[in-house]
Chains A and B, each alone.
Chain A
Amino acid sequence: MIPKEEHELHRRRRGRNFALGGALLAFVLLVFAVTIVKLSEGQIGSLQGY
């Protein structure tokens, strides 16, 4: 059974989880933003072939 007592170890792990979540979210937003820019500049023209 997991002890309820808050340990330094849990605090660090939570910090890492939040940082990883933030990094993943930022990465998704970045790829989305670059995709929008490239589409609006017509650089992804090959997509029109479909």
Chain B
Amino acid sequence: MTDASIIDTAREPVSGQPKEPSVRDYVSLLKPRVMSLSIFTALVGMLCAPASLNPVVGFAAILCIAVGAGASGALNMWWDADIDAKMRRTAGRPIPDGRMAAGEALAFGLALSVLSVMMLAVFTNPLAGGLLAFTIFFYVVIYSMWLKRSTPQNIVIGGLAGALPPLVGWAAATGSVGIAPLLMVGLIFMWTPPHFWALALFAETDYEKADVPMLPNVAGDAETRRQILIYALLLAPVAIAPAFTVAGGPLYLAVALYFNARFAAGAWRLRRRDEAQAKADKYAAEKAFFRLSLHFLFWSFAALLGEAALRAALGDYAAAMQLF
């Protein structure tokens, strides 16, 4: 390809300055921040599993899950380029900004999807590969292509894609599915709606302009607050239950009880406020609840990791005692 042909192609952005996508553009297609959550929860799922995976294979599996998550991000940006262009938060992404052709993102996303699924199946087992394929399919086809533009419940059902990584991590280690990883999936699944709706209450979003039906825009502020409370209450049993599985224990139980009590109290506080009160104190309670939701998820999974570390340490201790 000659330089002239590159300059003449459709990649030329609105500014008229000829550009080629940089490495940074490709990295941003992978949605690194979303990817980091997938890596963390998949790692917890893998380390909590009652099976030991060689560290090298474990590292390779986590890399595959991370690449799979990134691939679904790239495919999402390919599909959503039209609505991304209409929203201020996303207008600077590589495709709507004209730095990258849409087809390039599609090819990049598809290639990484196939590679990550195939390699995870080879490195660990076909079940883990299949679950990763299902996660990518769910995020791209069920959420991005179907639900996102058609129902205000989009993030409720679509949240399943973001919830599946611990199950993939567990399956990579054990080759099977258990109640503990399913509860971890349930935890993230039930946590996602109140987390996002709290953000939607105070953040300046322009989903309306892009015709994306988000709950606060469609059903209003009061209904969103009611739904946040409902989901916070439904979340509690799902989030506490892992304490009584092979992955849980007293440490997790204590953390889960503490955060679920605070989460329910925070949701109740939001329910009792209205938009006028929120505007008066610049959405202080809504912002605090959003921050709490981030701590909730992080510490819940950190506690599960702590339980796994305790079991390993106590197991070694018990084994050492048996020698005497």
> Interface on A for B, CB 8 Å cutoff?
2-3, 7-9, 12-13, 15-16, 19, 30-31, 33-34, 37-38, 41
Contact = CB atoms under 8 A, between A and B. Distances in A.
B56 A34 contact: yes
B246 interface: no
Nearest to B55: A37
A35 to B, nearest CB: 10
B284 interface: no
A12 B22 contact: yes
Contacts of A13: 20
A37 B56 contact: yes
B37 interface: no
B6 interface: yes
A37 B63 contact: no
Interface residues of B, number: 17
B19 interface: yes
Contacts of A8: 19
Contacts of B63: 30
A37 B19 contact: no
B57 A37 contact: yes
Interface pairs A-B: 3 shortest CB-CB: A19-B23, A12-B22, A12-B20
Contacts of A38: 57
A22 B22 CA distance: 15
Given A12-B19, A12-B20, 14 more contacts: A8-B19, A9-B6, A9-B7, A12-B22, A15-B23, A16-B22, A16-B26, A19-B23, A31-B119, A33-B60, A34-B56, A34-B57, A37-B56, A37-B57
What DSSP secondary structure best describes chain B's contact surface?
A: helix
Contacts of B22: 12, 15-16
A8 B6 CA distance: 13
A33 B61 CA distance: 13
B23 A33 contact: no
Nearest to B7: A9
Contacts of B18: 9
Nearest to B6: A9
A34 B123 contact: yes
A12 B57 CA distance: 34
Nearest to A38: B57
From B19, B23, B60, B63, residue with most partner A Cβ within 10 Å? B23
